[in-house]
Structure 1
Amino acid sequence: MKIGKLELGDKPLFLAPMEDVTDPSFRVFCKEQGVDMMYTEFVSADALVRNVNRSLRKLELMDAERPVGIQIYGNDIEKMVVAAKMAEAANPDVIDLNFGCPVKKIAGKGSGSGLLLDIPKMLAITDAVVKAVNIPVTAKTRLGWDSESLVIEQVAEQLQDVGVKALCIHGRTKEQMYNGIADWTLIGKVKENPRINIPIIGNGDVDSPQKAKQFFDDYNVDGLMIGRASIGRPWIFKEIKHFLDTGELLPPLTIKEQAQLMDEIVQKSCAMIGERRGILHARRHLAIPFKNLPDIRPLRIQLLREKTVAGISEVLMQIGDKYADYSEADSA
């Protein structure tokens, strides 16, 4: 699969852009686990134009995470062009346009998936950004606003016509948010469309190696994007890669191995963005594993309340030792 001149190999896996999740430390960790391409947290064009420090920090990239894209969102054409140029100056491999975020504070203001209610503006933004920058522009969107407006087949053609070099499709509508089951049939129809010649990346419910293989086999997509399933278990990329390559599942991690990897995530996060911010970012990962182990509640509460790297490492060591005879399968 290629995006412009960027070669990503066969059946690449993408880390989805997620607010307060895909910070640099998590991106680097996922890269080590086998992800082929990643995206920053999504960045507000309005905030970039106003030089908001928190948003400007999201443009900071490292060679260790490449290839990487910067995703921007907004509904003002001029601001999106300025933001795209600012993003380009950070030297990403691609700029991605967020036409898919369903949360109220974004979609409700006409950005993200809110632009599914204004396709002409979506296309005007895309056209303007493509013409303003010299690197590939990609986009991510959904099937439509709701079940009565499943517009993705037409929108995919239109986005291709104004210059996007790849399109990621989440198999839900805006109204579905993240509920229900993703509908991959429409993603497959887009891929089958003889007019479509850009890569199509499927997204939604890719949460196991078996599903990943099924989606590749049944819908012929060029790549898969994984978001929520990587939170708390970024080794899902390694599991999927192994299964696609060999047809065999990796043995489930032991709880001790899980605890060690969680500790590495915390260490990386704090080393890159400072202890306080690093722990806040890491907590969303710490909250996922171990939860179904017997009598784990006191240790989980302690783990999520710790305010130092040393304290978290100590609790994770206790969990690894206490549940040395358990594997990840026992805590699922």
Structure 2
Amino acid sequence: MQIGPYQLDNNLMLAPMAGVTDRPFRQLCRRMGAGLVVSEMLSSNPKVWNTAKSMHRMDHSGEEGIRSVQIAGADPELMAQAARFNVDNGAQIVDINMGCPAKKVNKKLAGSALLQYPDLVESIVKAVVAAVDVPVTLKIRTGWNTDNRNGVDIAQIAEQNGIQSLAVHGRTRACMYKGYAEYDTIRKIKAAISIPVIANGDITSAQKARDVLDYTGADGVMIGRGAQGNPWIFKQIQHFLETGETLEAPPLSEQHQVLHEHVANVHAFYGDISGVRIARKHVGWYLAEHDKERQFRKTFNSIEQADLQLDALDDYFQALQKRETRQISPAA
């Protein structure tokens, strides 16, 4: 798959998720097989660019692969300014956020709230495309509620004004993340435009990715929540698409290694205080299947020191592996 001059390794993408797709997680998913990873959304308001949160979101130092940065806002000129700022800061692709359903974003008329105003959508797209010499992509939802699924119209506006790839989450703004994603609208969008279309929403397994690609005709899939605590989903999907064979989850030893490395990188990126806090949610996602009673997570979330977090994870996985060994032992 190609976006502008960039040839992707495959058609599997990590969705931009605020508070999740920071540099440590992007780089992990990249190593695990994602063909493109997209940053957390960055506000187009220049007043917040120097805050600690924005500085971390704009940190691409040492980052491998194509750097795609998502921007959010409702003012065409500020969006154009944000696009130029991020390209100067290393962005190779600029992605426009018109998909976020969060109230704090939508009340500023940004994110998926923009889908109610096609003329403003067009103005923003034109301004951003004209502002930079890198490919501009767009992420949308199917519409703003189930009675107003105008995704096809928005997609055509995007294509006509220079957008080079379109990701579509199969829910409306009103749906938030409730219920199930629908792919009929994505299928209609793919039939209506010629630029690459990326299907997003509820893709949590290799088989689901295959089914969505087949049904919609989309050029690729974008994985969001399905990658939280499960970065190897990209390897699993790629293997299934290439061979038709299911690739099982990695052994506990590999899961331990990946999680330990991820948490250590979070500590290094944010510092011991913020890193300890941010690591907690990632550990919760990784261990959702192993720690169903949430006993370990309660203990882990009370730990305030980075080195003690890593020690606790090591002890936990050693205990898991011993239990697994006893369960498969002939003596057992």
TM-score w.r.t. the length of structure 1 is: 0.92
Are the equivalent residues in 2 in contact too, given 1:287–1:304 (CA < 8 A)? no
Are the equivalent residues in 1 in contact too, given 2:114–2:121 (CA < 8 A)? yes
1:309 aligned to which of 278, 301, 306: 306
Q: Following superposition of structure 1 onto structure 2, how do residues 185-204 of structure 1 map, counting pairs within 5 Å?
A: 185-193=184-192, 196-204=193-201
- The unaligned stretches of length 5 or more in structure 1 are 328-332
Q: 1:184 to 1:295 in 2, by over 3 A?
A: closer
CA positional deviation for 1:294: 7.0
The residue type equivalent to 1:218 in the other structure is Y
Q: Following superposition of structure 1 onto structure 2, how do residues 85-164 of structure 1 map, counting pairs within 5 Å?
A: 85-164=84-163
CA positional deviation for 1:295: 8.2
Q: 1:285 to 1:326 in 2, by over 3 A?
A: farther
Higher RCO by CA contacts (8 Å cutoff, separation 6 or greater):
1
| Structure-2 separation of matches of 1:133 and 1:49 | 21
- The unaligned stretches of length 5 or more in structure 2 are 326-332
Are the equivalent residues in 2 in contact too, given 1:43–1:58 (CA < 8 A)? yes
Paired position in structure 2 for 1:4: 4
Q: 1:82 to 1:300 in 2, by over 3 A?
A: same
SS at match of 1:287: helix
Paired position in structure 2 for 1:330: none
- Percentage identity across paired residues of the two chains: 35
CA positional deviation for 1:257: 3.2
The residue type equivalent to 2:152 in the other structure is E
The residue type equivalent to 1:151 in the other structure is N
CA positional deviation for 1:21: 0.7
Are the equivalent residues in 2 in contact too, given 1:279–1:307 (CA < 8 A)? yes
Q: 1:185 to 1:315 in 2, by over 3 A?
A: same
CA positional deviation for 1:206: 0.7
| Structure-1 separation of matches of 2:278 and 2:165 | 29
CA positional deviation for 1:319: 1.8
| Structure-2 separation of matches of 1:292 and 1:252 | 12
Paired position in structure 2 for 1:205: 202
| Structure-1 separation of matches of 2:53 and 2:295 | 34
Cα shift readout 1:227-265 (whole Å, capped 9, x = no counterpart): 111111111111111111221122333344323321111
Q: Following superposition of structure 1 onto structure 2, how do residues 1-332 of structure 1 map, counting pairs within 5 Å?
A: 1-10=1-10, 12-47=11-46, 51-193=50-192, 196-293=193-290, 297-324=294-321, 325-326=323-324
| Structure-2 separation of matches of 1:266 and 1:294 | 17
TM-score w.r.t. the length of structure 2 is: 0.92
SS at match of 2:13: strand
| Structure-2 separation of matches of 1:130 and 1:295 | 47
